[in-house]
């Protein structure tokens, strides 16, 4: 099979029909690999995402496999950058991976491995992919152990023992009573009692957010979530998590895939649930909840899950997925589990393949080098600037900022050489002419310095 690399919004949009067909055929595929979800998610990753798309050897052959990825950049202590490859959804969504039609599984995995070997990275992170899916071990087998190390990782929370590689889920039959028959007698009785009490209480209701109320509802749900978890996760991490969750849920709401019932008492939210709806596969994926811990009523969280499952059964959904984490309450509702795995493929040299940066990471590395430069970490900054220029010799920002670093440290010859290279392609750069003039003056080339100074009096400046 041949593999094309798709890294533009237009290119990804054009895949919709073929992507949907492969998604429907792949039994391991979950909502976060759907074209519908990724269309909103990939743009949030900036320029550092790409999709490997595999098809037959003829250009007109349809695509039969996809591997959505994102690129990361890591700085070593000496300032040297290396690249990492992640699944596109890591680490904001619970399920990631590749898509293939069953008939081309082996050939697609081989083609993906070959294409990955042509890229520049030191580590591939295959995190939160299905443990029962052999494609990932087959992929790893294409990387020889003499050059690459292969490792697996666990995800058990040390504080409470929750295993985040276990995902409980419930199979939904075609009626609420049939679903209840799957549960223990005690759970069945408790859920019926909770629902009867709710339906008899005129002070309680369940509503969904509207376009006008969504921001306020999301703020309240986030507040309730934070009231339980902020002390454990820390304020800074809590803010980061909630910012990401709000963006994810807002996008889902905008395309009609958010299921967010809110249980209220006298108009005040007691508990809210947020789930993603995979309408193509009729699957609901529970994502987050927030509960008013001061509420003294009986089990509002269990009530809202029960109400949600009953509602979704009526809508024709066939599964209710609690996603990552084997917390005990989930097993009251769920009788099935999906096991996940985390695999690492890393170069034993700890260097990028080809010992060069991935082109897509250059803007990030330039900004990283600039941050080091501003902190006075000159050697590390110089290392990073040189890595960029080794790949893209005419990178404007790297030329200017590295030149400035050399100039500030007395290397006027080296700085002047960089400014001249920049001016070859950008002769209107006022800042570069003035910098070059300063270097020439320090080197005693006063006539040339004067000429450069005059030329620096016109033209556009570098940003």
Question: What's 120's domain CATH number?
Answer: 3.40.630.30
Return the pLDDT at 461: 37
The span from the CA of 83 to the CA of 85, in Å, is: 7
Return the pLDDT at 90: 87
Q: Is residue 164 part of a domain?
A: no
Read off the pLDDT band of 459 (50, 70, 90): very low
| Residue 179 in this model has a pLDDT that exceeds 50 | yes
Structure-token match 């260097």, residue found: 351
Co-location of 193 and 134 in the same domain: no
With pLDDT > 90 as the criterion, what percentage of the chain qualifies?
89
| Residue 246 in this model has a pLDDT that exceeds 80 | yes
In this predicted model, what pLDDT tens digit does every residue of 282-300 receive, in sequence order? 999 999 999 998 998 889 9
Co-location of 444 and 368 in the same domain: yes
Q: CA-CA distances (angstroms) from residue 330 to 22, 162, 183, 445, 456?
A: 31, 12, 12, 76, 68
| Residue 458 in this model has a pLDDT that exceeds 50 | no
| Residue 463 in this model has a pLDDT that exceeds 70 | no
Q: Is residue 336 part of a domain?
A: no
Q: Is residue 231 part of a domain?
A: yes
Q: Is residue 327 part of a domain?
A: no
Co-location of 8 and 152 in the same domain: yes
Mean predicted confidence (pLDDT) in 374-401? 96
Nearest to 353 by CA among 120, 59, 155: 120
Q: What is the mean pLDDT of the chain?
A: 94
Co-location of 183 and 264 in the same domain: yes
Residue-range definition of the domain harbouring residue 113: 2-157+342-347
Q: Is residue 334 part of a domain?
A: no
Per DSSP, the three-state class of 148 is strand
In this predicted model, what pLDDT tens digit does every residue of 18-57 receive, in sequence order? 999 999 999 999 999 999 999 999 988 877 899 999 999 8
Co-location of 40 and 150 in the same domain: yes
Co-location of 133 and 209 in the same domain: no
| Residue 83 in this model has a pLDDT that exceeds 60 | yes
Lowest mean pLDDT among 187-196, 199-208, 210-219, 222-231: 222-231
Co-location of 145 and 233 in the same domain: no
With pLDDT > 70 as the criterion, what percentage of the chain qualifies?
99
Return the pLDDT at 362: 94
In this predicted model, what pLDDT tens digit does every residue of 423-448 receive, in sequence order? 999 998 999 999 999 999 999 999 99
Structure-token match 């209107």, residue found: 428
Return the pLDDT at 72: 93
| Residue 92 in this model has a pLDDT that exceeds 80 | yes
Nearest to 135 by CA among 167, 164, 99, 165: 99
Give CA 413 to chain center in angstroms.
Answer: 44
Co-location of 119 and 146 in the same domain: yes
| Residue 312 in this model has a pLDDT that exceeds 50 | yes
- The total domain count for the chain is 3
What phi and psi values does residue 29 have, to the nearest 5 degrees? -70, 135
Per DSSP, the three-state class of 143 is coil
Co-location of 385 and 299 in the same domain: no
Co-location of 26 and 150 in the same domain: yes
Q: Is residue 99 part of a domain?
A: yes
Within 10 angstroms of residue 426's Cβ, the number of other Cβ atoms is 16
| Residue 344 in this model has a pLDDT that exceeds 90 | yes
| Residue 364 in this model has a pLDDT that exceeds 70 | yes
The span from the CA of 49 to the CA of 70, in Å, is: 4
| Residue 134 in this model has a pLDDT that exceeds 70 | yes
| Residue 220 in this model has a pLDDT that exceeds 90 | yes
Return the pLDDT at 460: 36
For residue 91, cis peptide bond before it (omega within 30 degrees of 0):
yes
Mean predicted confidence (pLDDT) in 140-160? 94
Read off the pLDDT band of 233 (50, 70, 90): confident
Please state whether 6 falls in left (phi above 0), alpha (psi between -120 and 50) or beta: beta
Return the pLDDT at 462: 38
Return the pLDDT at 232: 84
Q: Which two tokens stand for residue 285?
A: 């994926």
Return the pLDDT at 98: 97
Co-location of 139 and 200 in the same domain: no
Q: What is the CATH number of the domain that holds 448?
A: 1.25.40.10
Mean predicted confidence (pLDDT) in 173-196? 96
End-to-end CA distance of the chain: 44
- Are the CB atoms for 20 and 280 separated by under 8 Å? yes
């Amino acid at each position: 099979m041949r593999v094309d690399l798709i890294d533009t919004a237009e290119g990804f949009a054009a895949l919709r029909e073929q992507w949907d067909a492969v998604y429907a055929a792949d039994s391991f595929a979950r909502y976060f690999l759907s074209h519908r979800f990724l269309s909103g998610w990939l743009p949030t990753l900036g320029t550092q995402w790409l999709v490997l798309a595999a098809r037959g050897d003829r250009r007109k052959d349809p695509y039969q496999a996809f591997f959505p990825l994102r690129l990361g950049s890591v700085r070593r202590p000496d300032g040297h950058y290396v690249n990492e490859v992640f699944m596109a959804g890591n680490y904001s969504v619970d399920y990631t991976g590749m898509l293939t039609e069953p008939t081309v599984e082996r050939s697609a995995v081989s083609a993906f491995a070959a294409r990955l070997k042509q890229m520049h990275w030191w580590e591939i992170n295959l995190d939160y992919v299905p443990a029962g899916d052999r494609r990932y071990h087959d992929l790893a087998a294409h990387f020889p152990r003499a050059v690459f190390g292969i490792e697996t990782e666990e995800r058990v929370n040390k504080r409470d023992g929750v295993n985040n590689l276990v995902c409980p889920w419930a199979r939904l039959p075609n009626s609420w009573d049939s679903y209840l028959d799957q549960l223990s007698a005690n759970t069945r009785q408790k859920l019926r009692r909770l629902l009867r009490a709710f339906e008899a209480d005129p002070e309680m209701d369940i509503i969904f957010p509207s376009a006008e109320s969504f921001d306020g509802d999301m703020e309240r749900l986030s507040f309730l979530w934070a009231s339980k978890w902020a002390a454990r996760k820390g304020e800074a991490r809590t803010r980061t998590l909630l910012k990401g969750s709000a963006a994810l849920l807002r996008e889902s709401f905008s395309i009609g895939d958010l299921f967010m019932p809110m249980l209220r008492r006298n108009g005040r939210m007691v508990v809210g649930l947020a789930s993603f709806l995979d309408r193509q596969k009729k699957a609901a994926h529970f994502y987050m909840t927030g509960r008013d811990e001061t509420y003294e009523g009986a089990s509002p969280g269990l009530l809202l899950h029960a109400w949600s499952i009953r509602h979704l059964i009526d809508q024709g959904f066939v599964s209710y997925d609690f996603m990552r984490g084997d917390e005990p309450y989930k097993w009251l509702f769920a009788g099935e589990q999906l096991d996940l795995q985390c695999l690492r493929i890393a170069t034993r040299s700890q260097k990028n393949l080809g010992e060069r940066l991935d082109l897509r990471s250059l803007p990030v590395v330039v900004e990283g080098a600039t941050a080091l430069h501003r902190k006075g970490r000159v050697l590390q900054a110089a290392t990073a600037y040189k890595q960029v220029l080794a790949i893209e010799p005419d990178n404007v920002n790297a030329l200017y900022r590295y030149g400035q670093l050399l100039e500030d440290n007395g290397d006027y010859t080296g700085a002047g050489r960089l400014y001249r290279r920049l001016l070859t392609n950008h002769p209107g750069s006022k800042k570069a002419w003035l910098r070059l003039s300063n270097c020439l003056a320090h080197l005693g080339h006063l006539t040339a310095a004067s000429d450069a100074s005059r030329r620096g009096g016109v033209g556009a400046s570098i940003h």
